[in-house]
Structures are given as C-alpha cells and as structure tokens.
C-alpha cells in the first residue's frame, strides 16, 4: 500500500526521519518553521529540514501558525494518509490532527512517559539516567501524551554528551519510524499502547541561565550538567577568579579530597590530567574548557597560561 505522507520538522534531529519517510517517494509536502536570522550577519537561514526537502524536490510550506482556517485547508488539499511530526516547533491543533486518514505520528526522543517536553535528551543526561530511547507516538492534543506505537531503548554512555546522544537518537528515531511505516504499508496498524500514569516527568526547554555551575552542588550533578549542556548552552563557572566555559569534566571519588574539607570552588589540584575543583560533595575534574573569546583547549594547555594554579616545584 502506498501512502501520501506530510512531514513536519525543523532541526537537524528531524532530518534522518525525513529521509526515512521519503525513501519510497511518498512525502508530498514538508512543513517547517519559517526561515530565521542566524550567524553573525543575522541573515535569514532555512532550517535543516527545509534544505533536505528542497534537495529532494519536495514542496515546502512554512506557516507561522496552524491555527488558521487557511492552514487547515492547505493540509486538507494535500489529502494526507499520514502526518509525521519530528521536532517541528509548532503546536498542532486538534482540527489539524484529525485531517490525515491515519492521524499524526510523532517521533519523540525518550521512553515515554519519562521526559515529555522540549529537551528530553539533555534532561535525561542531567538527571543521570542510564537509559533512554525513542518512541513513535500517535499524537493527541496534550503535550506528548499520546499512545505509543513502537519504542526502542538505548543505553546512555557514561561520558556521553548531549550532542553525541542527540545524534544517536536521531538515527534510532529514523529506524523506529521506518519500522512503523513498513507495518502501515503492509496494512498493519501498530497497536497503540496508552502511556502509564506513573513515571511522568517533563523535560523543560533549556535556558542559558541554567548553564552556570554552582560549586556547592555534588560533583556528580555538575559532571552530568557539563555533559548534558554540551554543545549548548555549555556549562560555565568561576575558576580561580576567571569565568570559563567547561566542555569536559568528570566527577572524582567523593572521598578523594575529603580530609581537606575545602570550601566549594577551591582548586584542589592542577596538572596534565585536569583541574580538580572542590564541590559540595566530591570534586569535579575539568578536562577541557574555553576562556573568554578563545577556543576549546585542554586543562593542560589552560595551565600553561595560568601558572598560578600549578603546585610549586619541589
């Protein structure tokens, strides 16, 4: 069975899913966010999904909202069997959800009902989760509340960053979507399993103000935040009187510096392996960082410019 598919998505995360949906030439139109100013020149820049759609010769629509009657009429004119939504960025009203024959499917980067919302990848790492995954969900009016059609779990690496996990989940999402589409083409509608009421958490949108590290927190929490906020918004902190951005760090054994009972934020040690900072519990070893206006460097390179942090020669 051939399908008429409408795809809605905006960022790079959605591009592998668009490729999976378009594999058989069934995507009749792509919805994406309007071009936005980007870069130093603030020039209007098309979304990654728009660029992929244009390369494939697929019609692109970029409405500011889907609430108007004209938006419903435009979608209805496409006669979609299915609408696939992946990180689109606009709320779909119920009247839009009702138009496609098989409704609207959403690819979400978590194991629902954990981490509904805008930033499930980063929140999973920040919370110290060891596992996440992808859900293919049939959309309802609520925020990521719809029943799950298919899902696939994925272990989170001990040192995996938000950017690395983003890329792996993006590809896994395309795989799960392809599986769902394969079933639908075969005339098999995946069984919709309602989400349980227990275990609901919300992944609130990232804010740059969250990036500032508080040394009074446990080292493990700070290490998770450094990983989660890489590559954006990137953790930042006060390091021996200087504001730096921290790109790589690990939590040390909580007993390592316990005998010193230092104040949070104190530099405990500095060497080629990193710069150890006292935390509310344990210590954080900074491995890579960035000075104001500089590039990302190793802790060893940073110490070449901050000899004051090095221990005195024996």
pLDDT of residue 260: 57
Distance CA 63, CA 88 (A): 12
**Residue whose entry in the numeric block shows the structure tokens 């979304």:** 47
Cα torsion angle, 121, 82, 171, 51, sign: negative
Q: How far is CA 8 from each of CA 21, 53, 105, 221, rounded to the nearest angstrom?
A: 11, 11, 10, 35
Dump strand ranges (E) for the chain: 5-9, 27-31, 36-38, 43-45, 60-61, 82-86, 104-108, 116-117, 131-138, 148-155, 202-203, 235-239, 242-251, 267-271, 274-278, 283-290, 296-298
Token digits of residue 252? 């040390």
Asked if the bond preceding 196 is cis, omega within 30° of 0, the reply is no
pTM of the predicted protein model: 0.94
Q: How far is CA 112 from each of CA 37, 153, 201, 313, rounded to the nearest angstrom?
A: 33, 11, 9, 55
Q: What is the mean pLDDT of residues 231-258?
A: 88
In the predicted structure, residue 143 carries a pLDDT above the cut 80: yes
In the predicted structure, residue 161 carries a pLDDT above the cut 50: yes
pLDDT of residue 312: 62
- Where along the chain do its domains lie? 5-203, 208-309
In the predicted structure, residue 313 carries a pLDDT above the cut 60: no
Q: What is the mean pLDDT of residues 259-263?
A: 73
pLDDT of residue 299: 96
- CA 11 from chain centre, in angstroms, equals 10
Cβ contacts of 30 within 8 Å, gap of 6 or more: 6, 7, 8, 9, 18, 49, 50, 53, 58, 59, 60, 61
Please say whether the beta carbons of 148 and 137 come within 8 A.
yes
**Taking every pair of C-alpha atoms in the chain, what is the biggest distance, in angstroms?**
79
Please say whether the beta carbons of 89 and 80 come within 8 A.
no
Sorting pLDDT into bands at 50, 70 and 90, what band is 307?
confident
pLDDT of residue 288: 98
Q: What is the mean pLDDT of residues 149-154?
A: 98
The binding site for (6S)-5,6,7,8-tetrahydrofolate comprises 110-113
Q: Which pLDDT tens digit goes with each residue over 105-138?
A: 999 999 999 999 999 999 999 999 999 999 999 9
Sorting pLDDT into bands at 50, 70 and 90, what band is 34?
very high
In the predicted structure, residue 256 carries a pLDDT above the cut 90: no
Sorting pLDDT into bands at 50, 70 and 90, what band is 314?
very low
pLDDT above 70 covers what percent of the chain?
A: 96
Look over the chain and give the mean of its residue pLDDT values, rounded to a whole number.
94
- Collapsing DSSP to helix, strand or coil, 15 comes out as helix
Q: What is the mean pLDDT of residues 205-211?
A: 95
Please provide the CATH number assigned to the domain covering 5-203: 3.40.50.170
pLDDT above 90 covers what percent of the chain?
A: 89
Q: Which pLDDT tens digit goes with each residue over 47-78?
A: 999 999 999 999 999 999 999 999 999 999 99
The binding site comprises 110-113
Please say whether the beta carbons of 306 and 297 come within 8 A.
no
Topology match between the domains 5-203 and 208-309: no
Sorting pLDDT into bands at 50, 70 and 90, what band is 279?
very high
In the predicted structure, residue 250 carries a pLDDT above the cut 90: yes
Distance CA 151, CA 143 (A): 18
Distance CA 145, CA 114 (A): 11
CATH of 208-309 among 3.90.1210.10, 3.10.25.10, 1.20.20.10, 3.40.50.970: 3.10.25.10
Closest CA to 88 of 137, 47, 142: 47
In the predicted structure, residue 171 carries a pLDDT above the cut 90: yes
- Collapsing DSSP to helix, strand or coil, 63 comes out as coil
Distance CA 33, CA 24 (A): 24
pLDDT of residue 261: 74
């Amino acid at each position: 069975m051939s399908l008429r598919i409408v795809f809605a998505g905006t960022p790079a995360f959605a591009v592998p899913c668009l490729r999976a949906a378009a594999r058989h030439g069934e995507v009749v139109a792509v919805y994406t966010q309007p071009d936005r100013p980007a870069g130093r020149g603030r020039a209007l820049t098309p979304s990654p999904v728009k660029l992929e759609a244009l390369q494939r010769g697929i019609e692109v629509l970029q409405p500011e909202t889907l609430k108007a009657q004209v938006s419903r009429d435009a979608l209805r004119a496409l006669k979609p069997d299915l609408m696939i939504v992946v990180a689109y960025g606009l709320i779909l009203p119920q009247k839009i959800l009702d138009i496609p024959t098989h409704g609207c499917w959403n690819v979400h980067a978590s194991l629902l009902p954990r981490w509904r919302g805008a930033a499930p990848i980063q929140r999973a790492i920040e919370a110290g989760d060891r596992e996440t995954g992808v859900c293919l969900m049939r959309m309802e009016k609520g925020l990521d509340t719809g029943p799950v059609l298919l899902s696939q779990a994925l272990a989170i690496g001990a040192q995996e960053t938000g950017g690395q996990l983003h890329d792996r989940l993006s590809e896994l999402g395309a795989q799960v979507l392809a599986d769902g589409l394969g079933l639908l083409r075969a005339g098999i509608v995946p069984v919709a399993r309602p989400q349980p009421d227990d275990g609901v958490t919300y992944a609130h949108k990232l804010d740059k103000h969250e990036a500032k590290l508080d040394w009074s927190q446990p080292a493990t929490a700070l290490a998770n935040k450094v990983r989660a906020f890489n590559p954006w918004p990137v953790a930042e902190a006060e390091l021996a009187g200087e504001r730096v951005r921290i790109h790589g760090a690990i939590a040390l054994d909580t007993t390592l510096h316990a005998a010193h009972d230092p104040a949070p934020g104190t530099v405990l040690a500095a060497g080629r392996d990193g710069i150890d900072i006292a935390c509310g519990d344990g210590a954080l070893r900074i491995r890579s960082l960035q000075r104001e206006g500089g590039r990302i460097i190793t802790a060893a390179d940073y110490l070449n410019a901050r000899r004051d942090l090095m221990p005195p020669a024996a």
